[in-house]
Structure 1
Amino acid sequence: MTRTQWNDVFGPHTRSLGSIIAAGQRGLAAAVPATPEERTAALWSFGYFFSLLAGYYVLRPLRDQMGIAGGVQHLPWLLTATFVALLATQPIYGALVARLPRARFIPIVYHFFVINLAAFWLLLTLNVAPVEVARVFFVWVSVFSLFAVAVFWSFMADLFTAEQGKRLFGFIGAGGTAGGLLGPIITIGLSKPLGSVNLLIPAAALLEVAVFCAYRLERAATAPPAGHAAVRAEPTRIGGNAFAALPELIRSPYLLGIAAWVSLLSFGATIVYLEQANIIAAAVHERDAQTRIFAGIDLAVGLLSLATQVFATAQVLGRWGTGAAAAALPAVYIAGFAALFLAPTLAVVIALQVVQRWMNFAIANPARQVFFTVLERGEKYKAKNLIDVVIYRGSDAAYGWVFDSLQALGLKFGGIALVAIPVVAAWLLLSVALGRTQQRRAALIEMEAPKGESA
């Protein structure tokens, strides 16, 4: 075929493909307001979070099934065991952070989880102590989900500045949302031909993809073009000791404020979750119908969050700041709890669950992650992990007992919602205060940064 004939046949298609690629690049530039170097780092971060959450959402249905296999009556004890396991693993993680550079301890954490999955696959395949293994697996996945995500966001807070985080964290978070949509599709599509136990294999593969993305992200951070500083390179290992997280938290009013914010996040989410469970159980008696409701909530949250994270989060954070963005979530809770007080119905609790989760994933969580960008490096890994993992899970357990106690006092669902309103109102005020403190800290860091360094 001559060049003329080739151009006649394939030229229009090549030009069309070029137009599509150019349009995609323009769309990416609009969605990710960044320099080319920042955009490269953001894309690897997107892939890292995508693979991580896709792997988790492959495991999550298997975890829930294992919880049933281990005995429904044992679930409260499994949740308690999860909290104890988190307390036990916190100093081990702290020791890794103190002694190894970021480029080494992050892959070690994920490779360790992959080795665990291989061990679980072997035990479940050989049918060794199935009930006991099921209970351990339930606890393990619960620990993994918190640790893996906390390590990811610690990396992001260490890598990007506050100003960069406002522009990029929404897009990066969209990677996790997209992965959360893919994971259930993999589970549904492969559970029958492979068997549920063999789903551990694609989950492990996805974790290894996450490690590869983290490796490429580290390279993008440590080798910027001459004269540029796209993201923060890691200067040295963090140092300190394995038990530094708690002292760091106690001596810092700012960290204590973030810890309170995370605990209040757990308060709102736990109260709504338990009200949802009770209202749905009372209104919908067919299991399949209940499953469809939960799936519908997850789908709506995923689609709304993904669209917002890609196209709106950076604009909201850039224009209104982290304080207003973080305050948007308690504002939703105030309106939602007021609506539940007036009408504690199925439609209201479903609407509140969708909107609060959407607002959290798309707006409030990126703002919360920016809060951590103005901390010392050790605090970003040690104290942040203590807050995101131990305090969050401990708050879940505590507020579950609070809900039960309010019911024991005779309060109905509407009354519990009314009691919750002043608590989330205080959360709103805390959000504004944290936003102001973060802005002051970011301004000081920018003033102290060497000339030419990325702010």
Structure 2
Amino acid sequence: MEVLGIRCPGPRWAAHVNSSILRRFVDVRDEEVGAVRWSFLYFFTLMCGYAILRPIRNEMGTAGSVKGLDWLFTATFLVMLAAVPAFSALVSRWPRRVVIPRIYRFFLLNLLGFFVLLKLGVARETVARVFYVWLSVYNLFVVSIFWSFMADVFASGQSKRLFGFIAAGGTTGMLVGPFLVGRLAEPVGPVNLILISVVLLEVSAQCVRRLSGWAQDVQQQPAAAQGPVGGGVLAGLRLIVTSPFLLALGLQVLLYAATSTFLYFQEVRLVAALGSDAASRTALFGDIDFYVQLATLGLQTLVTGRVISWLGLGAGLAVAPVVTGLGFLGMAAMPVLTVLILFKAVRGASHYALERPSREVLFTTVDREARYKSKSFIDTVVYRGSDTVSAWLQGGLAKLGLGMTGLSLAAVPLAGLWLGVSLYLARHQRRQAEPVPAAAPEAPVSEEVAAR
């Protein structure tokens, strides 16, 4: 392309430069560049929208509108029990390019409804409780759908190289969302920020359309791989019960959620025991969460894909449970704020940068019905069920007089079991990925043997 006799670089050259920059962070092939960009944007908009909504929910809780969190956890679990069969019915009947955007637009309409109710000030306390439960369901559900779609679009070999970088899109969204809230909440108003999440959710729906087109045109996926999943509404639960692999995946999520709940209550007890100056501690924990996200982003963009490709899924899956076990032992020995902060930072980075992308790779080895139905059940019902049971269990142990040291030691065996399950899953995936050796030529069979 020439302008005033000067040859200028054209769109192809710009695309080549962008591809070269992208390859510094991820091992991506030429035909995958567009899909990786759309996937990154998809997860970014999804998580940025959620990160904008979360402070609105937290503000309601701080103002006293939301009370009885144990019961709200239980309500969230019950809503999950109803939502998962409904989702299974949809994916059984409609193709993914239709179902996923429609689900996102259903949530979009929900957001507009909350926006109107909050602006009008209608039954604020009731709306706050419903919004708390709704956002808990929304977060787990849309993220589960995202990873189901990723496992459906990318092959197993591609996922090992690309999922770490794609996951970084979500981490970036979790950084940008709070940044926007901090600067727009006062001049614009917290409730008006819901409209930004609405726009971001529509962008996510458009990304699904783009990636579906790429899977068909570039990935050459057959029509059957993009059509309805089929099967019954409760097929996801049936598959989990009958498949040791899916059962182990559910157990892995259950153990992660249980240890997360124990750590959360340890944090609450420790912070409460420190006494005054709550404002400075709140600011400190906010800074720690921010730096955890930064550390996670660095690992996801520079380390995750290489660790999974070079060392295997076993290493990626094992880091988080090992860190969790060591962290709880450290908390048992020294239940102090410094140990808690270090524990949270290392565990959070290892989970989001290594363990979660590695777990999503595992779903590329199962069929489509398991990817959408069983995965949604595991990511939502199992996760929130474990969260709810662990919350009540921790409260019961505390009432029995078990202090921070005892509760920390009680969580260590859970981390050990989590490690064992993770290594089993890695071995299973490795066996699934091994090429099947060619069958040896069969010896001639005599008529007598053939007749038996």
SS of the residue corresponding to residue 401 of structure 2 reads coil
Q: 1:445 to 1:255 in 2, by over 3 A?
A: farther
Cα displacement string for residues 210-244 of structure 1 (whole angstroms, at most 9, x for unaligned residues): 111111111111111xxx64999834211112221
Q: Distance in 1 between matches of 2:89 and 2:436?
A: 27
- Residue 442 of structure 2 corresponds to none
Which structure 2 residues correspond to residues 226-265 of structure 1 after superposition, within 5 A? 229=220, 234-265=225-256
Q: Distance in 2 between matches of 1:72 and 1:59?
A: 15
Contact 1:161–1:232 (Cα < 8 Å) also in 2: no
Cα displacement string for residues 10-44 of structure 1 (whole angstroms, at most 9, x for unaligned residues): x9xx89xx999866532311322121122221111
Alpha-carbon shift at residue 201 of structure 1 (Å): 0.4
- Residue 289 of structure 1 corresponds to 280
- Of 373, 388, 401, the residue aligned with 1:410 is 401
Cα displacement string for residues 420-455 of structure 1 (whole angstroms, at most 9, x for unaligned residues): 2222112111111110101112336999xxxxxxxx
Q: Distance in 2 between matches of 1:51 and 1:306?
A: 16
Cα displacement string for residues 360-391 of structure 1 (whole angstroms, at most 9, x for unaligned residues): 00000011101111111001000000000010
Alpha-carbon shift at residue 75 of structure 1 (Å): 2.5
- Residue 57 of structure 1 corresponds to 51
Alpha-carbon shift at residue 290 of structure 1 (Å): 2.6
- Are 1:438 and 2:429 an aligned pair? yes
- Residue 450 of structure 1 corresponds to none
The alignment's TM-score, normalised by the length of structure 2, stands at 0.91
Q: Distance in 2 between matches of 1:3 and 1:174?
A: 38
Contact 2:70–2:391 (Cα < 8 Å) also in 1: no
Amino acid of the structure 2 residue aligned with 1:103: R
Q: 1:175 to 1:3 in 2, by over 3 A?
A: closer
- Are 1:33 and 2:24 an aligned pair? no
Q: Distance in 1 between matches of 2:183 and 2:222?
A: 38
SS of the residue corresponding to residue 441 of structure 1 reads helix
Contact 1:159–1:231 (Cα < 8 Å) also in 2: no
Deviates more, 1:130-139 or 1:54-63: 130-139
Contact 1:46–1:176 (Cα < 8 Å) also in 2: yes
Alpha-carbon shift at residue 209 of structure 1 (Å): 0.8
Contact 1:31–1:310 (Cα < 8 Å) also in 2: yes
SS of the residue corresponding to residue 67 of structure 2 reads helix
Cα displacement string for residues 334-370 of structure 1 (whole angstroms, at most 9, x for unaligned residues): 2111211111110001110111010000000011101
- Of 207, 212, 231, the residue aligned with 1:218 is 212
Amino acid of the structure 2 residue aligned with 1:129: A
Q: Distance in 1 between matches of 2:47 and 2:148?
A: 16
Contact 1:32–1:39 (Cα < 8 Å) also in 2: no
Contact 2:61–2:67 (Cα < 8 Å) also in 1: no
Alpha-carbon shift at residue 410 of structure 1 (Å): 2.1
Cα displacement string for residues 276-334 of structure 1 (whole angstroms, at most 9, x for unaligned residues): 12112222522321321221121111100111111110110011111221111111012
Amino acid of the structure 1 residue aligned with 2:174: G
Q: Distance in 1 between matches of 2:3 and 2:211?
A: 41
List runs of 5+ in structure 2 lacking aligned partners: 439-452
SS of the residue corresponding to residue 73 of structure 1 reads coil
Q: Distance in 2 between matches of 1:3 and 1:425?
A: 65
Q: Distance in 2 between matches of 1:140 and 1:185?
A: 23
Q: 1:278 to 1:311 in 2, by over 3 A?
A: same
- Residue 102 of structure 2 corresponds to 108
SS of the residue corresponding to residue 327 of structure 1 reads helix
- Residue 452 of structure 1 corresponds to none
- Are 1:156 and 2:150 an aligned pair? yes
- Of 78, 89, 92, the residue aligned with 1:95 is 89
Q: Percent identity?
A: 40
Contact 1:246–1:386 (Cα < 8 Å) also in 2: yes
- Are 1:381 and 2:376 an aligned pair? no
Contact 1:297–1:354 (Cα < 8 Å) also in 2: yes
Q: Distance in 1 between matches of 2:158 and 2:223?
A: 10
Alpha-carbon shift at residue 400 of structure 1 (Å): 1.4
Q: Distance in 1 between matches of 2:65 and 2:187?
A: 27
- Are 1:274 and 2:265 an aligned pair? yes
Q: 1:102 to 1:249 in 2, by over 3 A?
A: same
Cα displacement string for residues 70-101 of structure 1 (whole angstroms, at most 9, x for unaligned residues): 64433222221111111111111111111100
Q: Aligned residues, how many?
A: 436
- Residue 345 of structure 2 corresponds to 354
Deviates more, 1:88-97 or 1:399-408: 399-408
Q: Distance in 1 between matches of 2:85 and 2:157?
A: 31
Q: 1:239 to 1:20 in 2, by over 3 A?
A: closer
- Of 311, 319, 338, the residue aligned with 2:329 is 338
- Of 302, 318, 321, the residue aligned with 1:327 is 318
The alignment's TM-score, normalised by the length of structure 1, stands at 0.90
Cα displacement string for residues 127-184 of structure 1 (whole angstroms, at most 9, x for unaligned residues): 2111111111111111100101010001011111221111000000000000010111
